[in-house]
Structure 1
């Protein structure tokens, strides 16, 4: 079955996930690998990766999803916040709601992703509070992600 791996990646996190998927799929069946592009729509199965923006996928991915017709789709992505399956499932539900009728969702896998240092600097500039402390702790916890275990779990999910 032909497939395409489409991803939007601002910091390299989602690109790392896309590379991990590419490692476990047959190279001869790959019709497209890269950022959202109409060329990917020729594939029967699409692995679509995104970074999380305000609790859903980024705008480039949302615009690409709107172009889908009757493909099979597996969603993957990264989120700077979270770490809990429940949080990631909420994001996946919001993104799934963007899929047009006729598209078959095969599954999804999200993980935490590191954020740029400018985000930490913004948190550091906030007034001292429990929320600020939590945001800084989350930022620091995200620095190692996606890690080897995140990539392994994603590869298992697409296999």
Structure 2
């Protein structure tokens, strides 16, 4: 990828996806970067687009989906975070939904997802729901998931992302 130009575009509601974007920027050759940020027309002229998203009801956030639908003939690396489902199966399900918005003229050259922390208001809502006598039976599990997500993306997540990016550079 030494001569290919790239841009990193991301949408980050709580800062999780921004952390991933910053890690990608740290790993890739700075001199080949056309754009880094949340929106930019200049980015669309790059050979490769690293596109980051936060998960909204099992799919990428609306702004990212809109961007993906508009792209043609690009190489795309998708990366994202999700507060729920610290499992690879869930991440693959989300990535599958996201890829449905990618035009077939594009090539998805790589992907990465990890868990991300959620706003405290989410946990507060679960605790409040639990006070009701007829609450959902899975609230304890949701609270535990929230607590597990607090440290993410963590160093292990960032190291895995770096490994994937470095491997793709060698292709």
Q: Is the 8 A contact 1:36 1:60 kept in 2?
A: no
Task: Determine the C-alpha separation between the residues in 2 that align with 1:87 and 1:37.
Answer: 30
Matched residues, number: 159
Q: Is the 8 A contact 1:36 1:61 kept in 2?
A: no
3-state SS, counterpart of residue 62 of structure 1: helix
Root mean square deviation, CA, Å: 1.0
Correspondence for 2:16: 13
Deviations 1:70-107 (A, max 9, x none): 11001000000011111000000100111012100111
Where do 5+ consecutive residues of structure 1 fail to align? Answer: none
Correspondence for 1:4: 7
Task: Determine the C-alpha separation between the residues in 1 that align with 2:28 and 2:85.
Answer: 28
Correspondence for 2:56: 53
State the Cα distance separating 1:51 from its structure 2 match.
0.1
Correspondence for 2:169: none
Structure of greater Rg: 2
Task: Determine the C-alpha separation between the residues in 2 that align with 1:100 and 1:123.
Answer: 38
Deviations 1:22-76 (A, max 9, x none): 0100000000101133221110101100000000000110111112111100100
TM-score normalised by length of structure 1 = 0.97
